[in-house]
């Protein structure tokens, strides 16, 4: 058995790695809508649909975090990789890819009609007044 302190340290390191990957991927494509003040705003390419949006506070080993859960469906006729950028009001944008990494036996893209839901953790202790979701296609 591993000591509890060691397990806790491993969990903190794992959450740190996840957060680092998300933050390093934040070279954003696109911008939030102009004159946007509150609520949820969208800028989605015609080849994608946002199928699910939820956000909630969760407790982790490193403290409270705000989790965004966003689903994207490829509605084009070809396999496509998408980039999602989340712009919270009063916060730093976070970006990531759908799919995030290669999957066994599948291309690094969403197949036509395929949907993927991913969770994006962000440090925070309160909900934002709003956020914008920008979805762009990635070049092959």
Quote the pLDDT of residue 44: 93
User: Would you state the pLDDT for residue 129?
Assistant: 85
**Interatomic CA distance for residues 132 and 130, integer angstroms:** 7
Domain ranges within the chain, ordered by starting residue: 4-137
At 12, the pLDDT band (50, 70, 90 cuts) reads low
Across the chain, mean pLDDT equals 81
Is the predicted pLDDT of residue 73 greater than 90, yes or no? Answer: yes
Residue 24's pLDDT band, with cuts at 50, 70 and 90, is very low
User: What's the CATH number for 4-137?
Assistant: 2.60.40
- What's the pTM value of the predicted model, to 2 decimals? 0.73
Amino acid 2: pLDDT: 59
More reliable by pLDDT, 66 or 34: 66
Q: Give yes or no for residue 91 having a pLDDT over 70.
A: yes
Edge-to-edge order in the sheet of strand 115-123 = 48-60, 63-74, 115-123
Residue 114 buriedness (CB in 10 A; 0-12 / 13-18 / 19+): middle
The predicted structure's pLDDT at residue 139: 76
């Amino acid at each position: 058995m591993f000591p509890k302190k060691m397990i806790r340290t491993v969990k903190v390191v794992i959450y740190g790695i996840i957060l680092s990957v998300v933050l390093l991927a934040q070279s954003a494509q696109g911008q939030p809508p102009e004159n946007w003040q509150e609520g949820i705003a969208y800028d989605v390419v015609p080849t994608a649909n946002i199928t699910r949006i939820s956000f909630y506070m969760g407790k982790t080993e490193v403290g409270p975090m705000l989790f965004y859960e966003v689903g994207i469906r490829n509605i084009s006729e070809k396999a496509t990789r998408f980039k999602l950028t989340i712009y919270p009001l009063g916060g730093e944008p976070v970006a990531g890819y759908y799919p995030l990494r290669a999957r066994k036996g599948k291309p690094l893209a969403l197949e036509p009609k395929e949907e993927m839901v991913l969770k994006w953790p962000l440090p925070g202790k309160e909900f934002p007044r709003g956020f914008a979701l920008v979805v762009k296609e990635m070049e092959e």
